[in-house]
Amino acid sequence: MVVNDLGGAVDGSGSSQMAADTVVDEITGAGGEAVASYDSVSTPEGGQAIVDRALEEYGTVDVVISNAGILRDRSLPNLTQEELSSVLDVHLRGGFHIAQPAFRVMREKVYGRFVFASSNAGIFGNFGQTNYGAAKMGLVGLSNVLAIEGAKYSVKSNVIAPLARTRMTEQLLGPMAEMLLPEQVMPMVVYLASEQCEFTHEIFTAGGGRYGRIFIGTNEGWFAGSGVVPTLEEVAERLDDIRDISSYVVPGSLNDEMMLLAKLLAG
């Protein structure tokens, strides 16, 4: 196992080898095998270096757990370009920078597992986390496309939205932090990373002993008619139908939703 951690502060500043080394010591002390990497996923070179480290030590890449993150929280009107870019660089671009070279290896061997750490704050939203939320929801899109492109190569890609006490979250979670053990997230992540997992293109939430699925679906909606351009008033009148989620589907790709429309257009 390659344990990558730049070892910076929560805001991304600085670096230290201690964080990665500590985890490596814990793994090896328990009888496992692990080596450290101190590269930053925020650059393409860093992502490639992490994959190269795995290839040098183990000859292949079977699993990627993309969990890098920093916080630069600020409300939208006050958010700076630097605060936006730095968070996108680590979370979203970081996920891409490690996924691309790893996927190339997995595609050749026709096997692989990706687990991307998103966030409930990104999927559902949270005050003061525009940059973080956008980056974390972006990882959902990245994983979904990777799941589709990896399907014929037996490469599965899923997302975990964890609720746990970490250096990044303990101040945000308040008193509840003590009940959200990071160890409780571990079984779900390990399963998604395992050969046993056949799920792909899905989002799972885990925290405090609760495990569930988060999904993005679409309802039947309202069909105005083929070639019909409804008026604003007609759309307003049918908003109950447009918003009704009593019946829905969870598309596996853009094509799945297009098929819903094609059926309507075909009458």
Catalytic residues: 132
What is the DSSP secondary-structure string of 183-204?
GGTHHHHHHHTSTT----S-EE
Residues 6+ apart with CB under 8 A from 139: 66, 91, 92, 95, 116, 117, 118, 122, 159
The Cα 157–Cα 23 span in angstroms is: 24
Q: Which two tokens stand for residue 86?
A: 């730095």
Sequence-distant contacts of 67-73: CB under 8 A, at least 24 apart = 67/117, 68/4, 68/6, 68/41, 68/94, 68/95, 69/117, 69/168, 70/8, 70/10, 70/11, 70/12, 70/168, 71/10, 71/11, 71/132, 71/168, 72/11, 72/12, 72/131, 72/132, 73/128, 73/129, 73/132
For the record, the structure tokens of 65 come out as 């757990």
Looking at residue 99, the DSSP 8-state letter turns out to be H
Q: Number of helices (H) and strands (E), helices first, in the chain?
A: 10, 9
